[in-house]
Amino acid sequence: MLDLTLYMSPEILAYPFLFIAIFFETFILVTFLSKPARLARARRGTSNYTPRVAIIVPCYNEAATVGATCESLLALEYPKDKLEIILVDDGSKDATPQAMAAFANNPQVKILRKENGGKHTALNDGIAMTSAEFFGCLDADSFVASDALREIIPCFSSPRVAATTAAMSVHQPSNLLQHMQNAEYIFGITLRHSLASVNGIYVTPGPFSLYRRSVIDEIGGFRKGHQTEDLEMALRIQHAGYEIENAPRARVYTKAPTSIPSLIKQRTRWTTGFLRNALGEYRGLIGNSRHGALGTLVLPIGILSILSGIGLFLVAMTELIRHTIVAFSIRNGIPLSYSLVPRAPQLDWFYMPSSFYFGLIVLSVIGSISMMLIGKRLSRTPGSIGKGIAAYLLLYGFIAPLWLMRASYDVATNTKRSWR
């Protein structure tokens, strides 16, 4: 008689999710080796082209960090007469105005105070204060390497390039959760570099993304974008037929949440923003071959990866509960006196997991670690990543599904949250 137990195993449900993860990791790694990606890596920040650039720093209650952020911008290796810094106080209620005032006499710095209207309004007001050919955004809790701008400018050699992203990592990670995020951000360095070579970038993060002013004037300024204005702008750029590049050696360091609740809150906002933008105003991009890899691969897999993360977590929890019940059932049949006798643990290699399911998990983990190591080497980000990789493998699979499920629930029920 046909044994149906194999087909009833929850592991079977995990196979499609693991295949999606491995397929996408393989795509990224193969794309990394492609000719366009190799040519992009050969491009160095040695161009004599130094257009006028304005960096806008939107601030809301950033008194503790805005000074160091501004100092890092003033230390950029770029002609002083070609670089201006615009600090925008978006109605802060702390000492942010006083922290900004320390730069009031610096000829490179402009300061604007406005009523609170959200980050997108702060960016738009900052743009209105400059006539620079390019402008950038730097979150007030982030800090740039001195050569970052020179690494980014050559990416605009083509007039079709409307924006360029930098290489992000966590600023001085101190606990295990921040080390986990640092490994994830460095994973993202490889991801964005590969996606840029097929024009598949769908978000221009707040930490030091640069924009071509003429294109933004053409397609319109920043919008609230479901509280993810950087993602909405990137999708609008792609929808208009322009390109988004990446400068993998333009290093920028950003503060990261220090607790699980604050991390879940941040990532829920990011994920709901992605889903609401991608499935809302820009759903026409999904599956659209006119937009290349972005429409046919990146956005569909981005949505599937959310479902995969939730699915794998539920399968893992189901298996954990099932094995726990089996273990208790077996233990109940063993005399208590025998079970309490201390015995040296023994390892029998015969019982080591060797299933196809386990092999897929190993392949997925190897792919993730490879992308982290490549990202660190590519960006030349200083410091060790060993603790970050260990923290990522230990924690990420348990924490990420929490924000994925919360975000999916919010989108499905049209729940709106306050993120302050």
Domains in the chain (CATH in brackets) are: 35-258 (3.90.550.10)
pLDDT band at 19 (very low <50, low <70, confident <90, very high): confident
CB 204 within 8 A of CB 211: yes
Give the span between the Cα atoms of 17 and 305, in whole angstroms. 8
| Phi and psi at residue 179, to the nearest 5° | -65, -40
Q: With CA atoms as reference, report the closest residue to 138 among 179, 115, 161, 171.
A: 171
Q: Minimum mean pLDDT among 30-39, 44-53, 275-284: which range?
A: 44-53
Is 223 exposed, middle or buried, given 0-12, 13-18 or 19+ CB atoms closer than 10 A?
middle
Q: Which residue has the tokens 């920043």?
A: 222
pLDDT for 369? 96
What is the rounded average pLDDT for all residues in the chain? 90
> Looking at the predicted structure, is the pLDDT value of residue 91 above 70?
yes
Helix, strand, or coil (residue 220): coil
Residues in Cβ contact with 85 at an 8 Å cutoff, skipping those fewer than 6 apart: 54, 55, 57, 70, 73, 74, 103, 108, 109, 110
Say what the pLDDT of residue 348 is. Answer: 45
**287-297 per-position pLDDT tens digit:** 999 999 999 99
Q: How confident is the model at residue 44 (pLDDT cuts 50, 70, 90)?
A: low
Rounded to whole angstroms, what are the CA distances from 401 to 317, 381, 382, 392? 11, 28, 30, 13
Lowest pLDDT segment from 33-42, 199-208, 328-337: 328-337
Helix (H) or strand (E) holding 150: helix 148-152
H or E segment at 134? strand 134-137
pLDDT at 333: 64
The answer, yes or no, to whether residue 76 has pLDDT greater than 60, is: yes
For residue 345, pLDDT over 80 is answered with no
Alpha carbon of residue 411 to chain centroid: 20
Residue 102 · residue 67 · CB < 8 Å:
yes
pLDDT band at 350 (very low <50, low <70, confident <90, very high): very low
Question: According to the model, what pLDDT value does residue 315 have?
Answer: 82
Sequence-distant (6+) residues with CB within 8 A of 332 are none
| Cα Rg of the chain, angstroms | 24
Count of C-beta atoms within a 10 Å radius of residue 259: 10
Cα 31 from Cα 192, distance rounded (Å) = 11
For residue 347, pLDDT over 50 is answered with no
pLDDT at 312: 85
